[in-house]
Amino acid sequence: MNDYKKEFIEFMVQCDVLKFGDFTLKSGRKSPFFMNAGAYVTGAQLRKLGRYYAMAIHEKFGDDFDVLFGPAYKGIPLSVACVIAFDELYGKEIKYCSNRKEIKDHGDKGILLGSNMKDGDRVVIIEDVTTSGKSIEETFPIIKVQGNVEIKGMMVSLDRGEKGKGEKSALSEISDLYGFPTGAIVTMKEVIEHLYNHEVNGKVVIDDDIKKRIDAYYEEYGA
């Protein structure tokens, strides 16, 4: 596992973004872990987060694309932080773009924030986490209606690795349905591998009890 992945896993824990306990997801599933990207709130946290995303996108998709699209609302700060990091790390100017939930009919009109998209643009989508694929159902038509654009792929921060609507993971289902590759900074498998009996800030994050509960969860919901 790359060093930046190990750093990112511990970063999620330190920022209280990745938690372990008892959680009920939107899907109704009872999960022993939960991720909330809304807990990244400081400038230092967002700066680091943007760099982790940039490294993962560069590793998976390279830098041969024009626009980074972050769906409203959580995708807005993600896309901004990441394009700044791309400039700092790779000297590559990528434009950010996001959507509004409501179309604006005055001033800066339309549904988009940031850069407009045009024919020939190559787009990478940035998300926090995908469990069901519902977000991309809304995002995909918004992007495609902008013109003849190519979606190079989608990057999320954590691949939960559990069943989506069928037997495959949500990320695999998205790739099959929409025809573009998907990736994650880290997978839950990598998180467990790194954090099991490992201390972060002097505390073991995944002990034997939590590991058993995670294993039981994936017995039922694992893709």
- Of 104, 165, 189, 212, catalytic: 104
| DSSP 8-state secondary structure symbol assigned to residue 206 | B
Q: Are 135 and 127 in contact (CB under 8 A)?
A: yes
One-letter amino acid at 45 equals: Q
Q: Are 166 and 176 in contact (CB under 8 A)?
A: no
106 is catalytic: yes
163 is catalytic: no
- Of 26, 101, 106, 203, catalytic: 106
Q: Which of 20, 27, 16, 218 is closest to 132 using CA atoms?
A: 27
User: Rounded distance, CA 71 to CA 51, Å?
Assistant: 19
Catalytic residue annotation: 104, 106
